[in-house]
Amino acid sequence: MKKIIGVLCAVALAASTLPAAAQDKDQQRLAERLESATLVIHEVMHTPDRGIPQSILAGAKCVVVVPKYKKGAFVIGAQYGQGVATCRTGRGWSAPVFVRLEGGSFGWQIGGQSTDLILVAMNDHGLEHMLASKFKLGGDAAATAGPVGRNAQAATDASMHAEFLTYSRSQGLFAGIDLDGTVLSQNADDTRTEYGANVSYNSVLHGDVPPPADATRFVHTVATYFVVARDNH
């Protein structure tokens, strides 16, 4: 009987530790995604003469970073990626939320099977779409390949009227890209893992929630480039 009780206690203990271990693993996965997104921004902004123009940095409403967006992640011809997003608020840049980008059948400009993507919401319409649960680029929201170059003239008709400017980085090269047909949606499960069940996607993007410890570097990096560039413009 003592052996049986001992076995039952061990099973109960193991069962109680499984959820905690799974939670720790999920938190680590999200922390790694935030770190990858931070590195993407740093590397893009240090690409010689090929970064995001200062006028776009100054006017951005939201920034979405999708590290290692993959072709054929599900089936042949499909694209899929997990990313993070932050929006400008009256108190600076918001804590990040987690998003998915999927679908579309665009040409891979540089020929890789994986590329880093940056999407920049340029006006209030783009911000409104970001606050929605799901929208299609080129359908629900006007999107165009963004201009590159620190001093590039960004005020073209396309970039003035686009709700989103889209960029890709692969093999060290950075360029605007056509993402028409891709769908951006919130990853409610990951956002819930990061903040808890009682915190909404919208409240995070509105700046009502402070950045958690694993997100502070990402938010600071966005603020460094997008706010300082605006102040110097």
Instruction: State residue 5's pLDDT score.
Output: 60
pLDDT category at 173 given cuts 50, 70, 90 is confident
Side-chain-side CA neighbours of residue 128 (13 Å): 7
The phi and psi torsions of 140 (rounded to 5 degrees) equal -70, -35
Instruction: State residue 3's pLDDT score.
Output: 63
Q: Residues 200-229: pLDDT tens digits?
A: 999 999 999 999 999 999 999 999 999 644
Instruction: State residue 30's pLDDT score.
Output: 95
Q: Residue 190: CB partners within 8 Å, gap ≥ 6?
A: 26, 30, 82, 98
Q: What is the mean pLDDT of residues 150-179?
A: 75
Instruction: State residue 150's pLDDT score.
Output: 64
Asked if the model's pLDDT at residue 128 lies above 70, the reply is: yes
* Buried/exposed 195-216: b ≥16 CB within 10 Å, e otherwise: beeebbbeebbbbebebbebbe
Q: What is the mean pLDDT of residues 176-197?
A: 91
> From CA 130, how far away is CA 185, in angstroms rounded?
8
What SS3 class is residue 20? helix
Instruction: State residue 113's pLDDT score.
Output: 59
Q: Residues 140-153: pLDDT tens digits?
A: 999 999 988 865 56
